[in-house]
């Protein structure tokens, strides 16, 4: 028996829908609004919500079409309920509720971060617990012990900025448009990662802690650019990008490996938009290989925001039967502990 899920994700600036059959991704459609927000240097919540509204129906239709299924064939509808921009989330939740209600189907209200972790459950990775998951995105940076996909346990998280936030802000200082990750990565490839010694957050706390801090490295880049002046920055842009990227990526790799050692798991995974970064992917593969750990790295399209990962989270989240979800709503914040199944 198949389990056909139509999932919708609109928590930030991608309008996404996917059809997932068991662990197989039948379609995965993402309409990015990044260009719309680039002129502002970051996501404008009101603009995001309005654009989701104009795009979401077409994206859902496309996902069904690409999968070659009709809405009537779908067993469950899933949607990102939290956390995210409230206006943006509301568009996805209202759409999913309407589709589920009109067709008499159950609705699964899933957690975005749970989705980033559960992306590794999908084909072709099909990672099964136990493992330690690193999630690094524009809004979150955290490590979870996954003994059971239904209940990831928080091991550590950022105490200030998220890794992606630091990447986007640093990229902006170097004149790279939003979202800065891909541009920073491309520039860093031409630079020397050892040229500048940017600080790694929380080093003074000792070697055994699993939290992150990115406020310091961002400030260090700001001071370095001030000291260099416009000409100096132009001449050293690639070195600045490479050194900055390294200072962000290194603690992600080191603490992921430390968490794997502490908890004695046979596997690690990475997810979230920052996990699309080639340098991070390479370093994680290398470090995991040295320890004999299995490493699960999703396709880049399953790292950045998408709806297939929400269908994956939905496999481990209780479905709400028709029509009990009509009074349910989107929630902007993450719950204490961070992931709600």
Q: Does 179 bind ligand KG4 (CB under 6 A)?
A: yes
User: Which one, 139 or 191, has the nearer CB to ligand KG4?
Assistant: 139
Q: Does 183 bind ligand KG4 (CB under 6 A)?
A: no
Of 92, 170, 181, 191, the residue at the interface with ligand KG4 (CB under 6 A) is 181
Token duo for residue 43: 């996501």
Q: Does 21 bind ligand KG4 (CB under 6 A)?
A: no
Minimal distance, residue 304 CB to Zn ion, in Å:
7
The torsion angles phi and psi of 100, rounded to 5 degrees, stand at -70, -45
* CA–CA gap between residue 137 and residue 309 (Å, rounded): 14
The torsion angles phi and psi of 311, rounded to 5 degrees, stand at -65, -35
E strands within 165-220? Answer: none
Sheet-wide strand order for 14-21 = 24-32, 14-21, 4-9, 76-82, 107-111
Q: Does 168 bind ligand KG4 (CB under 6 A)?
A: yes
Token duo for residue 137: 């995105």
Token duo for residue 25: 């991704």
Of 87, 92, 115, 139, the residue at the interface with ligand KG4 (CB under 6 A) is 139
Q: Does 137 bind ligand KG4 (CB under 6 A)?
A: yes
Of 4, 7, 12, 293, the residue at the interface with ligand KG4 (CB under 6 A) is 12
Minimal distance, residue 188 CB to Zn ion, in Å:
22
Burial 267-301 (b: 16+ CB within 10 A, else e): bbbbbbbbbbbebbbebbeebbeeeebebbbbbee
Site string for ligand KG4, 196-235 (x = CB under 6 A): ----------------------------------------
Please work out the total of residues on this chain that contact ligand KG4, with binding judged by CB under 6 A.
Answer: 19
Task: Please state, as a whole number, how many other Cβ atoms lie within 10 Å of the Cβ of residue 328.
Answer: 14
Of 149, 305, 319, 334, the residue at the interface with Zn ion (CB under 5 A) is 305
* CA–CA gap between residue 167 and residue 154 (Å, rounded): 23
Decide which of ligand KG4, Zn ion, none touches 304; Cβ closer than 5 to 8 Å per partner kind.
ligand KG4
Q: What residues between 137 and 156 interact with Zn ion by CB under 5 A?
A: 137
Q: By CB under 6 A, name the binding residues for ligand KG4.
A: 12, 137-139, 164, 167-168, 179-182, 185, 272-274, 276-277, 304-305
């Amino acid at each position: 028996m198949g389990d056909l899920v139509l999932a919708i994700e609109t928590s930030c600036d991608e309008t996404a829908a996917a059809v997932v059959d068991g662990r197989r991704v039948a379609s995965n459609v993402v309409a990015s609004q990044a260009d719309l927000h680039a002129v502002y240097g970051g996501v404008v919540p009101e603009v995001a919500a309005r654009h989701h509204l104009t795009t979401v129906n077409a994206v859902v239709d496309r996902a069904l079409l690409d999968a070659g299924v009709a809405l009537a064939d779908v067993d469950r509808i899933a949607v990102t309920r939290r956390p995210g921009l409230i206006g943006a989330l509301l568009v996805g939740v209202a759409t999913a509720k309407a589709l589920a209600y009109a067709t008499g189907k159950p609705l699964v209200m899933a957690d975005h971060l749970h989705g980033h972790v559960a992306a590794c459950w999908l084909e072709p990775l099909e990672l099964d617990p136990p493992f330690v998951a690193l999630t690094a995105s524009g809004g979150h940076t955290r490590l979870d012990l996954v003994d059971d996909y239904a209940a990831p346990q928080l091991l550590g998280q950022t105490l200030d900025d998220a890794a992606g936030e630091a990447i986007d802000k640093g990229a902006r200082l170097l004149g790279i448009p939003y979202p800065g990750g891909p541009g920073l990565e491309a520039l860093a490839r031409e630079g020397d990662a050892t040229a500048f010694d940017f600080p790694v957050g929380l080093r003074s706390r000792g070697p055994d802690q699993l939290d992150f801090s990115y406020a310091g490295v961002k400030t260090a880049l700001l001071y370095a650019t001030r000291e260099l002046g416009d000409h100096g920055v132009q001449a050293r842009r690639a070195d600045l990008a490479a050194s900055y990227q390294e200072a962000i990526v290194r603690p992600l790799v080191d603490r992921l490996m430390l968490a794997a050692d502490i908890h004695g798991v046979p596997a690690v995974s990475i997810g979230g938009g920052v996990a699309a970064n080639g340098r991070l992917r390479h370093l994680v593969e290398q470090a995991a290989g040295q320890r004999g750990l299995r490493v699960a790295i999703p396709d880049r399209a399953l790292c950045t925001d998408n709806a297939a990962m929400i269908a994956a989270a939905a496999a481990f989240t209780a479905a709400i039967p028709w029509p009990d979800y009509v009074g349910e709503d989107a929630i902007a914040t993450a719950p204490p502990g961070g992931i709600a199944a």
